[in-house]
Structure 1
Amino acid sequence: MASPDRTLAAAGAILIYAMVIGYTDNYVRVIAAEGGLWQFHASRSAMALALLWLLAGPLGLRLRPANPRAVLARSAIHGLAMLIYFGALAFLPVAQVAAGLFTAPIFVLLISRFAYGHTIGPVRVAAVAVGFLGVVMVLGPEAISGASAAALLPVLAGLMYAMGNIATREWCAGESAEVLLAGFFATLGVLGLIGLSVLAVVPVAVPEGAAGFVQRGFVWPSATFLFWTFVQAAGSLFGVGMMIRAYQMAAASRVSVFEYIILPASAFWGWLIWGELLTLQASLGMVLIALAGGMIALRSRQSPTAARQ
């Protein structure tokens, strides 16, 4: 049985997660300039799992799952979501792929209501709608253009990501965050090795630089690749750990709205690191994203009846 919601604590955990992931993800372009997606996943997972193992003793971490089948199922769902998401980047615009993944809060609401019978009030529904409108404004009109069968792939990733987030609380509430972290990185590591093996047997043409990120097989890693992959591993280990704790502390239909903050966080680091500026439309979209999160956070401070809305 799930524990009582701690919505504000979950919001804080998601904010930390967004700031850490927003920073590390801004350096994926550096990794992509010379390495490939599959080697990145395999290398990052190996580093993250090694760090987790080294920290287990000093921090007293529990790495043995209470329910291995549930952990495996959740890890597989999340891993496949990321595989579809990054795979779609090979032939769809980044904005369109990102917009598809950010349909996840909508699916969280639907699954929570119709699969688990959770009460979903009008405030939560409105927050999801406001947040998604903000996401579309940030990503621009290209995010919703070019509808095709292939464009359904990012939406499928969003559906699977939503299922994995719900599974965190519904299936794995009794698991430690470190167990779910280990499962997540192990799955992505296996998928990375599979991708490298396939590309070794069936090589494909690889464009130069970041354009060849998805199609590129194994290359001898440089010091730059190894350094930023390690930064990714350490940052993801901490950031994803905070995200997992958030979904363990509060209902997925609340926490998923807070995840919209990832876009403003990434934009902030993009401005600070690369000097990238936002349009007025994107800035207004971020205001809507912040408003969506505020609607959920403020509602949670009211009476128990209101907090269910």
Structure 2
Amino acid sequence: MNPQDRTLAAAGFIIIYAVVIGFTDNYVRVIAAEGGLWQFHATRSVMALVLLAVAGLALGLRLRPVNLRAVVARSAIHGTSMLIYFGALAFLPVAQVAAGLFTAPIFVLLISRFVYGEGIGPLRVLAVAVGFAGVVLVLGPEAMAGASVAAAVPVLAGLLYGMGNIATRRWCPQESAATLLGGFFTALGLLGALGMAVLALMPLPVPAGADGFVMRGFVWPSQAFLFWTFVQAAGSLLAVGMMIRAYQVATATRVSVFEYVILPASALWGWILWSETLTPAAAGGMGLIALAGAIIAFGGRRAPATAAAG
């Protein structure tokens, strides 16, 4: 039996996800100052998988997949999405890359409607449009500038991220969140190890500091790198677990719009941790993002609960 569609519960899971991820991702700049993307993914995944194994034994979590092929496919899609996303940071502005990833709710809407025949309704379409308009305001006009073939790369990450989110509920309805967490971190760990191997065989010139994050291969880790990577591992376990639960209890077209709240959460932590301030346009964009979530939550309460096809 498929899980009951619970929109407000999903919203709560996504808010926890956004608050935790917003905090931990603000410290990626500290990790990037000395480490590399690939070593970061590999190290974080090992730490996360060890923590997950310990938690599984202590809490009796089910880690064995019910459908191994589905879990592997979903993990590969999500892992590849993150690989493309971080790889695009090497040659495109951060705002443009982020805007590309946040096209995911649009793809979720299109795939759900035209591939799975799900009725999406005008409220969900409106919420996606309002939320994405808010994202553009938060990121600024530079996010939409420089349209080119290269600029389409982050949009591919958004497409794959949306596909992976749909797969969570439609391909893996009987899997535990712990199982999907294990698959996600295993995929990222393997991709990180592969990247380090390639850079060891074909090293690239590496700029100093954070500018060399994507091109940097293995370096001997400092205590700061290991500490903040461990914080990332622990935080990601909790946050991604909350995200997975959200997509398990509600349809992807509703949950994907709630994910827009990551931007305001990251901005809030940026203000608290680094005294970064927002422009009036960015503040207005956050208001639109909140409105998009309210549209979905209100529509979810009015609509009858439905179960997605497995």
TM range (shorter): over 0.9
Q: Structure 2 unaligned segments of length 5 or more: list them.
A: none
> What is the CA–CA distance in structure 2 between the aligned matches of 1:305 and 1:213, rounded to whole Å?
45
Instruction: Indicate conservation of the 8 Å contact 1:19/1:266, yes or no.
Output: yes
> What is the CA–CA distance in structure 1 between the aligned matches of 2:54 and 2:304, rounded to whole Å?
42
1:234-286 alpha-carbon deviations (Å, 9 max, x no partner): 00000000000000000000000000000000000000000000000000000
> What is the CA–CA distance in structure 2 between the aligned matches of 1:179 and 1:57, rounded to whole Å?
13
- Cα deviation, residue 187, structure 1: 0.3
Alpha-carbon RMSD across the aligned residues, in angstroms, is 1.3
Instruction: Indicate conservation of the 8 Å contact 2:4/2:305, yes or no.
Output: no
Secondary structure of 1:85's counterpart equals helix
The aligned residue for residue 165 of structure 2 is 165
> What is the CA–CA distance in structure 2 between the aligned matches of 1:224 and 1:3, rounded to whole Å?
42
The aligned residue for residue 273 of structure 2 is 273
How high is the TM-score relative to the length of structure 1? 0.98
Instruction: Indicate conservation of the 8 Å contact 2:6/2:305, yes or no.
Output: no
Tell me: CA distance 1:303–1:158, structure 2 relative to 1, closer, same or farther (3 Å).
closer
Instruction: Indicate conservation of the 8 Å contact 1:2/1:170, yes or no.
Output: no
What code does the residue aligned with 1:117 have?
G
Secondary structure of 1:199's counterpart equals helix
> What is the CA–CA distance in structure 1 between the aligned matches of 2:45 and 2:303, rounded to whole Å?
43
- Cα deviation, residue 305, structure 1: 8.3
What code does the residue aligned with 1:266 have?
S
Secondary structure of 1:64's counterpart equals coil
What code does the residue aligned with 1:94 have?
V
The aligned residue for residue 28 of structure 2 is 28
**Structure-to-structure mapping, 1:172-211, within 5 angstroms:** 172-211=172-211
1:142-183 alpha-carbon deviations (Å, 9 max, x no partner): 100001101110000000000000000000010000000000
What code does the residue aligned with 2:37 have?
L
> What is the CA–CA distance in structure 1 between the aligned matches of 2:132 and 2:303, rounded to whole Å?
26
Tell me: CA distance 1:4–1:219, structure 2 relative to 1, closer, same or farther (3 Å).
same
What code does the residue aligned with 1:210 have?
A
Shifted more, 136-145 versus 295-304: the winner is 295-304
> What is the CA–CA distance in structure 2 between the aligned matches of 1:137 and 1:230, rounded to whole Å?
33
The aligned residue for residue 60 of structure 2 is 60
What code does the residue aligned with 1:101 have?
L
The aligned residue for residue 225 of structure 2 is 225
Secondary structure of 1:289's counterpart equals helix
The aligned residue for residue 139 of structure 2 is 139
What code does the residue aligned with 1:198 have?
V
The aligned residue for residue 300 of structure 1 is 300
> What is the CA–CA distance in structure 1 between the aligned matches of 2:134 and 2:289, rounded to whole Å?
5
Tell me: CA distance 1:303–1:88, structure 2 relative to 1, closer, same or farther (3 Å).
closer
The aligned residue for residue 288 of structure 2 is 288
How high is the TM-score relative to the length of structure 2? 0.98
The aligned residue for residue 94 of structure 1 is 94
Tell me: CA distance 1:13–1:305, structure 2 relative to 1, closer, same or farther (3 Å).
closer
> What is the CA–CA distance in structure 2 between the aligned matches of 1:74 and 1:127, rounded to whole Å?
26
1:209-257 alpha-carbon deviations (Å, 9 max, x no partner): 0000000000000000000000000000000000000000000000000
What code does the residue aligned with 1:56 have?
G
**Structure-to-structure mapping, 1:62-77, within 5 angstroms:** 62-77=62-77
- Cα deviation, residue 303, structure 1: 4.3
Secondary structure of 1:301's counterpart equals helix
The aligned residue for residue 215 of structure 1 is 215
> What is the CA–CA distance in structure 2 between the aligned matches of 1:305 and 1:158, rounded to whole Å?
27
> What is the CA–CA distance in structure 2 between the aligned matches of 1:44 and 1:163, rounded to whole Å?
24
- Cα deviation, residue 299, structure 1: 1.5
1:102-141 alpha-carbon deviations (Å, 9 max, x no partner): 0000000000001111001000000000000000000000
The aligned residue for residue 105 of structure 2 is 105
The aligned residue for residue 4 of structure 2 is 4
1:17-58 alpha-carbon deviations (Å, 9 max, x no partner): 000000000000000000000000000000000000111111
> What is the CA–CA distance in structure 1 between the aligned matches of 2:4 and 2:50, rounded to whole Å?
33
Instruction: Indicate conservation of the 8 Å contact 2:39/2:218, yes or no.
Output: yes
> What is the CA–CA distance in structure 2 between the aligned matches of 1:194 and 1:286, rounded to whole Å?
38
Tell me: CA distance 1:57–1:150, structure 2 relative to 1, closer, same or farther (3 Å).
same
Segments ≥4 residues shifted beyond 3 Å: none
- Cα deviation, residue 298, structure 1: 1.4
> What is the CA–CA distance in structure 2 between the aligned matches of 1:72 and 1:302, rounded to whole Å?
36
